[in-house]
């Protein structure tokens, strides 16, 4: 697609005539093609934030953590086709009731509403069921709110979200569904910012930065509000809407306080495991898993609102002090990993399964090491030395490749 089309895809502004396809194979990978725009908008956000407030819109440690979680969430797709698409196509091929025309504008608009409503349902239940929240909380774990946060995604969430899309497979062609699944995701990128304050009348219909700031807040008035993806009408209909009011403090009510992407994924699951065994009674144990994250014996399903920690306005984000050279080191090495990851995406079909697994393993090792360095952990330096030695070994033997062959020697140095 042309750059202009790709830019409009970010704002769900590609009409039916430009984004309707007969087969799934014809549908562009809008998300992958949007990566340059992600980078450009992040740079623009930094510039606007500096002009508005004389400060940058994010921190190096939190930004690297968000990008690491974004990469981690996409790694399973390198090995397997998207579970969303596999399950949808299976239902379509075997159980569809009737077939709406793929090239009809009515089908396009119906799918827009269907995908967004399915997202609202899934998103809401992900906040109200503890085991699903354990996956989704990754996206809420940042104490900053910027475009980096939009890329902060869970590895596990996609393995439950697909269920909510299946009713559409009974009548909506997979090619149309695939387009809107991507558009819905892309739209949610640009609303993760503080530099846009209010969009006037659009606030009544669309999910906007203001509405989504509330969703990411840990203020008591923000909890479990504004679940919409593209449209805010579902929240207005079902009573989960809340307008932005007092200054929003971002993050989890009980912060994880880590930049390690593996820890951010797994610690909530460990908490559920420990709570499950510590809670007496079989029914109570099931409630630990399937009721809200604030539930406890004798409490309502979603917990007690008065137990949500009060916001004083003096909350300080988790921000361990590290030397400036270490921040520079982490940024440079993260850029190298981003290069290797992008090269992997472009060549995965030509690589052996063993080489793909080795590259994925090295990327995970690297992202973990960067997280521990940003936390200033005592043993982080040892892990980083091991990582660098592994890199030199696998790079020399050709198991890792840069997109830019001229940088090979520089990388080894």
Alpha carbon distance 254, 223 (integer Å): 13
Q: What does pTM read for this prediction?
A: 0.94
Task: Give the SS3 label for residue 231.
Answer: strand
What does the pLDDT average to over 90-102?
97
pLDDT of residue 131: 96
The answer to whether residue 298 sits within a structural domain is no
Q: How confident is the model at residue 402 (pLDDT cuts 50, 70, 90)?
A: confident
Handedness of CA 168, 171, 172, 174 (dihedral sign): positive
pLDDT of residue 397: 86
Q: How confident is the model at residue 409 (pLDDT cuts 50, 70, 90)?
A: confident
The answer to whether residue 279 sits within a structural domain is no
Chain centroid to Cα 318, Å, comes to 20
> 234 and 328 share a domain?
no
> 341 and 215 share a domain?
no
Tokens for 61? 């440690």
pLDDT of residue 1: 55
> 358 and 233 share a domain?
no
The answer to whether residue 247 sits within a structural domain is no
Q: At which of 238, 268, 297 does a domain end?
A: 238
The answer to whether residue 300 sits within a structural domain is no
Question: Each residue of 192-237: pLDDT tens digit?
Answer: 999 999 999 999 999 999 999 999 999 999 999 999 999 999 999 9
Q: For the chain, how many structural domains are there in total?
A: 2
pLDDT of residue 12: 96
Mean pLDDT of all residues belonging to the chain: 94
The answer to whether residue 361 sits within a structural domain is yes
The answer to whether residue 82 sits within a structural domain is yes
Q: Which residues pair with 174 in a beta bridge?
A: none
Q: At which of 200, 216, 238 does a domain end?
A: 238
Give one word for 54, left, alpha or beta, with left for phi > 0 and alpha for psi -120 to 50. left
Q: At which of 183, 211, 238 does a domain end?
A: 238
The answer to whether residue 29 sits within a structural domain is yes
Q: Domain range holding 362?
A: 324-401
> 114 and 233 share a domain?
yes
């Amino acid at each position: 697609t042309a750059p202009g089309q790709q830019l409009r895809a970010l704002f769900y502004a590609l009409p039916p005539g430009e984004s309707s396809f007969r087969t799934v194979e014809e549908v562009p990978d809008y998300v992958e093609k949007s990566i340059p725009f992600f980078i450009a908008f992040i740079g623009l956000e930094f510039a606007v934030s500096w002009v508005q407030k004389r400060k940058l819109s994010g921190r190096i440690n939190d930004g690297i953590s968000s990008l690491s979680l974004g990469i981690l969430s996409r790694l399973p797709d390198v090995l397997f086709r998207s579970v969303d698409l596999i399950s949808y196509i299976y239902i379509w091929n075997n159980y569809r009731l009737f077939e709406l025309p793929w090239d009809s504008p009515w089908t396009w608009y119906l799918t827009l509403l269907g995908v967004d409503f399915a997202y609202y349902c899934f998103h809401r239940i992900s906040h109200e069921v503890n085991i699903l929240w354990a996956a989704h909380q990754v996206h809420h774990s940042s104490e900053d709110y910027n475009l980096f946060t939009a890329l902060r995604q869970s590895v596990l969430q996609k393995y439950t979200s697909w269920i909510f899309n299946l009713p559409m497979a009974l009548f909506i062609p997979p090619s149309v569904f695939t387009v809107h699944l991507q558009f819905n995701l892309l739209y949610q990128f640009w609303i993760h910012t503080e530099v846009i304050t209010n969009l006037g009348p659009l606030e009544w219909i669309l999910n906007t930065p203001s509405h989504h700031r509330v969703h990411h807040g840990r203020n008591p008035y923000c909890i479990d509000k504004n679940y919409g993806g593209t449209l805010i009408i579902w929240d207005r209909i079902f009573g989960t809407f809340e307008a932005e009011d007092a200054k929003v403090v971002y993050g989890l009510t009980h912060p994880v306080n880590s930049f390690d992407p593996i820890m951010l994924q797994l610690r909530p699951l460990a908490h559920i495991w420990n709570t499950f065994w510590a809670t007496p009674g079989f029914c109570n144990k099931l409630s630990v898993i399937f009721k809200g994250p604030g539930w406890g014996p004798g409490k309502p399903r979603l917990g007690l609102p008065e137990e949500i920690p009060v916001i004083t306005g003096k909350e300080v984000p988790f921000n361990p002090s590290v030397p400036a050279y270490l921040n520079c080191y982490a940024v440079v090495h993260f850029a190298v990993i981003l290069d290797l990851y992008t090269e992997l995406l472009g060549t995965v079909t030509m690589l052996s399964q063993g080489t793909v697994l080795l590259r994925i393993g090295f990327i995970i090792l690297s992202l973990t090491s960067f997280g521990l360095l940003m936390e200033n952990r005592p043993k982080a330096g040892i892990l980083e030395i091991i990582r660098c030695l592994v890199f030199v070994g696998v790079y020399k033997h050709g198991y890792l490749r840069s997109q830019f062959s001229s940088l090979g020697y520089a990388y080894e140095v």
